[in-house]
């Protein structure tokens, strides 16, 4: 079945560009209008419904079309726009470093953070099993659905519109990506920073609580026997990444403040126990100006 919407779609109401209610009641038009308001685009209803349909819902409802093709398309559009922007912003960087900067922006954790900012999880059509295991807040599902939505905007509105949406959502990450060292993930960035500061190799102590289907992991990032950051998540990887981010910020701030000092002071109890977002390198909400597509 084609991803392109048709004028005879059953999801169109009297020519209105508002999605019809989904079979599970989660996708009533007013709710979709809220999402479209956040996207700042009114999309072809059938296309938007497709973008929000996870395979678990499709399988439980007779093999409906899923959002996986749109996800595939959106991933490519997102990669193109981010790559183009980084290429223009950093004319002197070699290919390898550009790839690392792109990886700091285009990854599941970053996409999930952006998706949470849109409250995208509330609109996803999920199967009962996935719903029961907290699928609406799973980073992988959020990231995939956001890519599908980007793909839908591209199909319905074109590359310029998709590029505008991507810039609005991702420019804060693009602006800050050069601060992430290797740019591959926070653990890599923390290891590079601690090596540069002569502090040693980070260690992660992870504990877990809760039943098997709702486990919560807590990680502490320690360097030289000192705990510089903690983090929690629904997976060990997520908790470690969050702890690494908190530690990276603590050590970086101390190193910047110390100037010539090679070793930052031990963190205060408030900063070592706090945790920042696992998905975004910056709390900034204002997009930076950057070249268009």
Evaluate whether residue 6 is within a structural domain. Answer: no
Catalytic residue among 75, 156, 175, 185: 75
pTM of the prediction?
A: 0.62
Q: Tens digits of per-residue pLDDT, 138-155? A: 989 999 999 999 999 999
**Residues 235-291 pLDDT 10s:** 888 889 889 988 998 998 888 876 544 444 444 443 333 444 444 333 333 334 343
Exposed (0-12), middle (13-18) or buried (19+): which is 63, by Cβ within 10 Å? Answer: exposed
- State yes or no: is 197 an active-site residue: no
Query: Which residue among the candidates 11, 130, 147, 250 is catalytic per the annotation?
Result: 147
Between 93 and 28, the more confident residue is 93
Known binder of ligand: residue 71?
yes
Cα separation, 230 vs 243, in Å, equals 4
Shared domain for 208 and 120, answered yes or no, is: no
**Whether residue 105 is found in the same domain as residue 236:** no
Q: Does 245 show up as a binding residue in the annotation?
A: no
pLDDT at 208 over 90: yes
Assess if residue 288 is contained within a domain: no
Place of tokens 């004319």: 91
The three-class DSSP label of residue 277 is coil
Nearest-angstrom CA–CA distance, 50 and 14:
19
37: domain CATH number is 1.10.1520.10
Residue 60 counted as an annotated binding residue: no
pLDDT for position 8: 34
Domain extent for 198 = 186-273
The domain tally of the chain equals: 2
Q: Which residue has the higher pLDDT, 262 or 170?
A: 170
Looking at residue 3, what is its pLDDT?
Answer: 61
Has 75 been annotated as catalytic? yes
Domain boundary pick from 179, 214, 240: 179
């Amino acid at each position: 079945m084609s991803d392109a919407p048709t004028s005879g779609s059953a999801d169109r109401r009297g020519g209105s560009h508002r999605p019809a209610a989904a079979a599970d009641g989660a996708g009533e038009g007013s709710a979709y209008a809220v999402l479209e308001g956040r996207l700042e685009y009114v999309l072809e209803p059938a296309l938007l419904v497709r973008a929000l349909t996870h395979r678990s819902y499709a399988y439980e409802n007779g093999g409906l079309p899923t959002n996986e093709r749109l996800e595939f398309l959106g991933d490519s559009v997102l990669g193109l726009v981010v790559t183009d922007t980084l290429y223009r912003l950093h004319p002197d960087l070699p290919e390898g470093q550009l790839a690392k900067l792109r990886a700091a922006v285009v990854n599941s954790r970053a996409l999930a953070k952006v998706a949470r900012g849109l409250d995208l999880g509330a609109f996803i059509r999920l199967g009962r099993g996935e719903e029961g295991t907290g699928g609406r807040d799973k980073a992988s599902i959020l990231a995939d659905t956001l890519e599908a939505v980007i793909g839908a905007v591209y199909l319905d509105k074109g590359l310029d519109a998709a590029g505008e949406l991507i810039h609005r959502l991702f420019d804060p990450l693009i602006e800050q990506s050069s601060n992430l060292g290797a740019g591959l993930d926070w653990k890599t960035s923390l290891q590079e920073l601690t090596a540069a500061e002569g502090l040693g190799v980070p260690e992660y102590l992870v504990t877990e609580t809760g039943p098997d289907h709702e486990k919560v992991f807590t990680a502490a990032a320690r360097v030289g026997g000192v705990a510089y950051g903690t983090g929690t998540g629904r997976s060990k990887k997520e908790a470690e990444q969050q702890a690494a981010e908190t530690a990276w910020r603590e050590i970086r701030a101390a190193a910047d403040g110390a100037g010539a000092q090679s070793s930052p002071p031990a963190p205060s109890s408030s900063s070592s126990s706090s945790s920042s977002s696992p998905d975004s390198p910056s709390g900034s909400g204002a997009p930076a100006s950057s070249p268009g597509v």
